[in-house]
Amino acid sequence: MLSGIKTRLSNVRTIKTLCESAENYALKDQQRQAGAEHFLLAAIDLPDNTARLAFREIGADAAGFRDVVGAQYWEALRSVGVNAG
């Protein structure tokens, strides 16, 4: 029973960390709410490396994902005439 409680508390801490990190990514992108990409970026940062392992398992590059998300934002801004650089 005690180990179950410890596991649940650990899960709550992980979810809290994930949500706070996703929110920080969203704010950095000048967005009020975190989107799926922010949660993925936050998951990559988790110390247990589960997201990185999941990326590796499907043959994807977690570090490359960051670059692609950044490029997508720059392209979206450029497409509406905003020069952010």
Average pLDDT over residues 21-41: 93
What pTM does this model have?
0.78
pLDDT(85) > 70: no
> Percent of the chain scored above 70 by pLDDT?
98
Distances (CA, A) of 62 to 3, 58, 76, 82: 32, 11, 22, 28
Looking at residue 84, its pLDDT comes to 62
Cα(8)–Cα(15) distance, integer angstroms: 10
So where are the chain's domains? 2-79
Average pLDDT over residues 54-62: 93
Token couple for 70 = 């950044």
Q: Closest by alpha carbon to 45, among 70, 78, 12, 20?
A: 20
Average pLDDT over residues 75-81: 84
